[in-house]
């Protein structure tokens, strides 16, 4: 089975559905997985730590520190190939959605670089409450996978939604995740993300409002498709989740240019999502520029054009994807960029689209490729947008390889 040799963390929280977890752990072990169980204090009231230790073959961890031993949550987050939070109570769901960290489950979750699967378990009215649904939306927007609740008999005696997925169903969903075809397995990719800062003096810079969220989502989507990714990130970009991503932090456009060009020769895929400054100050003052009554004149010079530079050296086996953020004549300007810089695809962002562009959790883009009609994607999460972009890119690669 596809779970053979996989390292799985099973984290149980305070729900009556925890009584099913020994069976789930046993199924994982029979499938060949190594399982480490975590328990919250309330979960231990529903299921025996001794039973879980017996079926997993490992001591159950119930706290970050037990007095004599530190259970290294960071190391656990790096060790695992997947983390399954099951059952995930309403209380824990709220903590995950808001970044709270008061137990070992939350600490490992916040440290995990592996895919995280969440199996909600609660009564029907709690499931349908707007706050629960809002928290579900938030944890999904963070890139977590949901093992959907099922319809059935609940602990309250009601029949409805909120029942934790059965252990056999959770096993099947995990196995499917690890057996999904990874079309980019063995491929190397470069992704750029975030802004660049072009220094005026030691305390001031020219920059933009990019957060790098789109670039990070693209890096994660590429790793899910099997690629090994080097993420070249500007200032303020948060580290991505997922194994297979190496992050290189840079500050200026020239820094980013050098970091990208250093790896370009070996990259099968290059996705330039960063908002790179087009101009930088011709000289940087060595000391802080003092305010004066006469104003300040800056002489600017062009920065390195990373997309154009890669387009000039691109090999037939390489795929180059650029981004275009436009406010006027959007399609026309994006098409010029596609053709003029020898890119295989341009992802067009329009600042005229509500909910798209810098700072949002959502995005709306149009994909331009040579010889094809533009494809406009709906407004959706940046994670879903990234997956759609990578899927479209894979289709282009496949079409070119079969010609």
Catalogue the active-site residues.
208
122 exposure class (CB count in 10 Å sphere: 0-12, 13-18, 19+): buried
The three-state secondary structure class of 394 is helix
Whether 177 and 3 have beta carbons less than 8 Å apart is answered as: no
For 125, residues 6+ apart whose C-beta sits below 8 A from its C-beta are: none
The angle that helices 167-179 and 21-30 make with each other, rounded to 10 degrees, is: 40
The three-state secondary structure class of 350 is strand
Whether 345 and 367 have beta carbons less than 8 Å apart is answered as: yes
Whether 120 and 136 have beta carbons less than 8 Å apart is answered as: yes
Residue 291, marked binder: no
Residue 358, marked binder: no
Residue 176, marked binder: no
Closest CA to 112 of 91, 142, 83: 83
Q: 């690669």: which residue's tokens? A: 397
Residue 24, marked binder: no
Whether 121 and 149 have beta carbons less than 8 Å apart is answered as: yes
308 exposure class (CB count in 10 Å sphere: 0-12, 13-18, 19+): middle
Token pair for 15: 């729900």
Beta strand ranges found along 121-216 (DSSP E): 145-146, 150-153, 159-163, 188-193, 198-201, 204-206
For 15, residues 6+ apart whose C-beta sits below 8 A from its C-beta are: 43, 46, 87, 88, 89, 121, 122, 164
Residue 323, marked binder: yes
Which segments are annotated as binding site? Answer: 278, 288, 323, 337, 341
Give the annotated binding-site residues for CTP.
Answer: 278, 288, 323, 337, 341
């Amino acid at each position: 089975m596809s779970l053979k040799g996989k390292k799985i963390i099973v984290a149980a929280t305070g729900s009556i559905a925890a009584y099913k977890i020994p069976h789930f752990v046993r199924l994982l072990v029979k499938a060949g997985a190594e399982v480490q169980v975590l328990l919250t204090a309330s979960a231990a009231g529903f299921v025996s730590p001794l039973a879980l230790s017996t079926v997993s073959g490992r001591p159950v961890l119930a706290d970050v520190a037990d007095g004599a031993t530190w259970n290294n949550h960071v190391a656990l987050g790096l060790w695992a190939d997947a983390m399954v939070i099951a059952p995930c109570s309403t209380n824990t769901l709220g903590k995950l959605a808001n970044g709270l960290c008061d137990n070992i489950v939350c600490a490992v979750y916040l440290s995990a670089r592996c895919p995280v699967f969440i199996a909600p378990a609660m009564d029907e009215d709690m499931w349908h409450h707007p706050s629960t649904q809002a928290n579900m939306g938030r944890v999904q927007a963070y890139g977590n996978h949901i093992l959907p609740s099922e319809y059935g008999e609940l602990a309250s005696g009601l029949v409805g939604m909120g029942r934790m997925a059965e252990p056999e169903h959770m096993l099947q969903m995990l196995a499917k995740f690890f057996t999904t075809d990874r079309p980019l397995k063995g491929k190397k990719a470069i992704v750029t993300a975030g802004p660049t800062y072009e220094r005026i003096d030691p305390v001031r810079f020219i920059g933009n409002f990019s957060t790098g969220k789109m670039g990070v989502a693209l890096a994660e989507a590429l790793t899910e498709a099997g690629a090994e990714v080097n993420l070249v990130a500007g200032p303020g970009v948060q580290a991505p989740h997922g194994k297979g991503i190496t992050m290189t932090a840079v500050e200026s456009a020239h820094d980013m240019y050098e970091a990208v060009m250093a790896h370009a020769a070996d990259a099968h895929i290059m996705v330039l999502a960063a908002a790179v400054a087009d101009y930088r100050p011709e000289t940087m003052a060595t000391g802080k520029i003092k305010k004066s009554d006469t104003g300040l004149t800056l002489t600017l010079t062009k920065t390195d054009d990373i997309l154009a530079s890669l387009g000039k050296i691109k090999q037939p086996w390489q795929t180059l994807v650029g981004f275009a953020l436009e406010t006027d004549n959007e399609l026309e300007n994006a098409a010029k960029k596609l053709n003029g810089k020898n890119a295989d695809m341009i992802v067009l962002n329009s600042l005229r689209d509500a909910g798209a562009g810098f700072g949002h959790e959502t995005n709306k883009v149009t994909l331009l490729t040579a010889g094809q009609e533009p494809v406009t994607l709906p407004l959706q999460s940046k994670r879903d947008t990234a997956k759609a972009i990578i899927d479209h890119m894979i289709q282009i690669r496949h079409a070119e390889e079969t010609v």
